[in-house]
Each structure stands twice: as structure tokens, then as C-alpha cells.
Structure 1
Amino acid sequence: MENSPQYLFLASGVNNGEGFWIVGIKNCDENFLEDINLLDCHRKELIGYESAKDILLAINLNVNNLLNELRNKNYLIETPSMGISFDIPLEILENIFDFWLEIYKNQEAWEACLGLLKIRKRIPLTNLIRSESLKGNSKKWAIQIENLHTYVPSSLKIEKINNPMWE
């Protein structure tokens, strides 16, 4: 299995009546239809196992960054028992999937983008972009990565109500 061909996929699924998105890796010999939790496959790429693991790591980090940012801004995002919330639109996940799959084809771009994504975990890249700290391709990639984090749900924010001190 060291670098055997694998499917990197983006699918929708349901578990105990709860819907979710899932990005994962399946052996190319396995039939997607045999997994009773999966409904539809929206992206499926046959690539080597190590490549699939690397890309899956970047996709998951990107999605986690996005979800954490939305929660920090007090948007109500459901947390399904497995996978990614249906609160994130399919188009957003497809854009994230496609970006990381495509950028992986260029080793220099991959390393730079993965580094930018790790920075993005801590701080938005907008200040680096505006301050001209990034040049050339790094700036172009930073803009693209920042765009992968711009989704804002139409759902209402959770309004925190402070209880009176005397209660």
C-alpha cells in the first residue's frame, strides 16, 4: 500500500439520518457504492497513496481553518458526528479540493502554499498581502488561499447574552 493507487474523494453521506460531507481516501479496488454511509461522490481522483495523504492533510487543515474562523465569529455551524457539516456549501468544498489537488502538481508551489496555509491557521494572510511582505507567486497563492477562507454563512450569528453578575 506504500504508494498504491488510491481514490481521493469528496462525497456526501448520511449516518443515522444526519447528513455530512466527507473528504477521504479509498483503495481503488473498493466500490464506493458498498459504503452504506455515502450517497453521492462529487470529486474522485486516482492518485498515489502518499500524494493522497498529503492533499487530504491540506484539505482538512483548510476546512478546519474555515470552520474555526466561522465559530470564532459566532456563526452557528453544526458539528455532525462524522465528516464536515452540510452548513458548508458543496461549491466551497469543491473549490478547496480542486485547489489543493491542482497545486500539488508543482512541488515548489505545494510547499509554499502549505506553509501559507499553516500561517493562515494562526492569522489571516490579508495583512501580509497588503503590506507587500509577499512577492510574486507567494502573493498570488496567498490571495488564492485567503479566498478559500472567505465563506460566510447566511445563518444568523449566535448572540452571546451575558447573565447579570448577581445571578
Structure 2
Amino acid sequence: MQNSPQYLFLASGVNNGEGFWIIGIKNCDENISEDENLLDCHRKELLGNESAKDILLAINLNVNNLLNELRNKNHLMERPSMGISFDIPLEILENIFDFWLEIYKNQEAWETCLGLLKVRKRIPLTNLIESESLKGNSKKWAIKIETLHTYVPSSLRIEKLNNPMWE
């Protein structure tokens, strides 16, 4: 079981009438198609267990970075009881999924990109890119990672109102 094949997948689903996206790992194709909560499978790749876990970790970090940034900018985002909100378009999630799946094939690029993604969790990479702090492939990957974080929904922003202090 150490490195048995696993399916890394991106699917849409519904639970109690609530829609969501899910990116996960299943040990066989039937487990994806037989899951009663899943509607459509949009991406599915057969990988070794360790590879699937590594890629899923990067995808989840990327998606969490994006969602945190949207919340920090006061964008109204649904929070489904499971998975990722349908407020994030499928194309955005496919781009994130495809990028991390592809970059994993090159160990040096993978390590660089994962490091940049961890930095991106704390600060945008734009300052590093513009200040010429990054060179060569690091700069190229930083630009791509920053692009994966640029989605802005057309939904209304929530204006934070302070409650009166007497309530």
C-alpha cells in the first residue's frame, strides 16, 4: 500500500442540495463513479500514492491561499459544508490542478514552485517579481503561481460594518 496507485481527481458534487467542487484521492476508478455525492469528474489522474498526496497538498494550499485572499478582500463566498464553493469557477480549479500535476514531473521545478507557494501563503509574489529579487526559472514560476491567485469574483463585496457598541 506504500505507493499503490491512486486517482487524484477534481469533481463536482452535491450534498443535501448544496453544490461543491472537490479535489481528492480515491484508490480506484469505481470509488469516484460510485460516490453518491459526486456528479461529474472533470479531472482524473492515476498516480502513485505519495505523488498524489504531494500534489493534493500543493493544490489545497493554492486553493486555500486563493480563498483566504478573497475573504481578506471582503468578497462574498459561499462556504459549502464540504468541498470548495461553486463560487470558484471550474476553469480556475482546472488551471490549478493542471499546473501542479504538470510541475510535479520536474523535481527541481516542483521544489521551487512549492517553496514559492509557501511564501505566497504569507505575501503576494508581485513585489519579489517586480523588485528583480527572483531570477530565471524562479521568476517564471513565481509569475505563474501569482497568476493562479488572481481570480476575482463578480460577486458583491461585503462592506464591513461595525456593530453599534450598545448592542
- Normalized against structure 1, the TM-score is what? 0.97
Task: Give the distance between the partners of 2:166 and 2:63, measured in 1 at CA.
Answer: 41
Alignment-derived partner of residue 43 in structure 2? 43
Report how far residue 90 of structure 1 moved: 0.1
The 3-state SS of whatever aligns with 1:154 is coil
Report how far residue 165 of structure 1 moved: 4.6
Which consecutive residues of structure 2, in runs of 5 or more, have no partner in the other structure? none
> Is it true that 1:83 corresponds to 2:51 in the alignment?
no
Alignment-derived partner of residue 130 in structure 2? 130
Q: Could you tell me which amino acid in structure 1 is paired with residue 113 of structure 2?
A: C
Report how far residue 28 of structure 1 moved: 2.3
Report how far residue 83 of structure 1 moved: 0.4
RMSD after superposition: 1.1
Q: Deviations over 1:137-160 (max 9, x none)?
A: 000000000000000000000011
Q: Deviations over 1:122-148 (max 9, x none)?
A: 000000000000000000000000000
Indicate the larger mover: 30-39 or 107-116: 30-39
CA 1:29–1:157: 2 relative to 1, 3 Å? closer
Percent of aligned pairs with the same amino acid: 90
Task: Give the distance between the partners of 2:52 and 2:148, measured in 1 at CA.
Answer: 20
Task: Give the distance between the partners of 1:33 and 1:135, measured in 2 at CA.
Answer: 44
Report how far residue 100 of structure 1 moved: 0.1
Report how far residue 164 of structure 1 moved: 4.1
Which consecutive residues of structure 1, in runs of 5 or more, have no partner in the other structure? none
Alignment-derived partner of residue 104 in structure 1? 104
Task: Give the distance between the partners of 2:155 and 2:18, measured in 1 at CA.
Answer: 19
The 3-state SS of whatever aligns with 2:30 is coil
Q: 4+ residue stretches of structure 1 with deviation over 3 A?
A: 163-167
Task: Give the distance between the partners of 2:4 and 2:166, measured in 1 at CA.
Answer: 64
Report how far residue 29 of structure 1 moved: 5.4
Count of aligned positions: 167
